[in-house]
Amino acid sequence: MLLLTTKAQMVQFGWSELDVILISGDAYIDSLYIGVAVIGKVLVGAGFRVGIIGQPELEGEDIKRLGEPKLFWGVSGGSVDSVVANYTANKKFRNSDDYTPGGKNTKRPDRAVIVYTNLIRRYFKDIAPIVLGGIEASLRCITHYDF
């Protein structure tokens, strides 16, 4: 099963567009323990053309590298809530991130689901639907989750 991460891979397979693009606060890791990878594999198994953008750059147009999906965007903060990944219980900034290449905590923004959704809206005006998922999209709805 194939999940694309670059435009060159799309050209290689003769695809002009993708059906679904998944955005994650984690670097792309092909593992059964990473939710975005599992969802991507299930969609590919169902016959959809799927691309994944892991930890898109916040400055510049990295979010546009695979184009716009035909069906929907799937956005997740990653395997760990972004605020939990960035701060300790005492509100001290964490220096490391196990889901970022090199382990440096420099790629995941606070409230990543909101930031990534706003990036999509900034660069794509007539956008396909945006579907939020993952632990951040679920638990962030609870009023006192950050406390």
pLDDT in tens, 23-72: 998 888 888 888 899 999 999 999 999 999 999 999 888 999 999 999 99
- As a whole number of angstroms, the distance between CA 121 and CA 102 comes to 30
Q: For residues 80-92, give the mean pLDDT.
A: 83
For tokens 């069906």, the residue is 71
How high is the pLDDT of residue 28?
Answer: 85
Long-range pairs, 101-110, Cβ under 8 A, ≥24: 101/27, 107/27, 107/55, 108/25, 108/26, 108/55, 108/77, 108/78, 108/82, 109/25, 109/58, 109/82, 110/82, 110/83, 110/86
For tokens 């991130």, the residue is 97
Q: Is residue 104 within 8 Å of 96, Cβ to Cβ?
A: yes
Write the CA distances from 82 to 18, 40, 139, integer angstroms: 27, 21, 11
Domain borders along the chain are 7-139
pLDDT digits (tens, 9 = 90+) for 1-31: 567 888 898 889 888 999 999 999 888 888 8
Q: Characterize the bridge pairing of strands 50-54 and 130-133.
A: unpaired
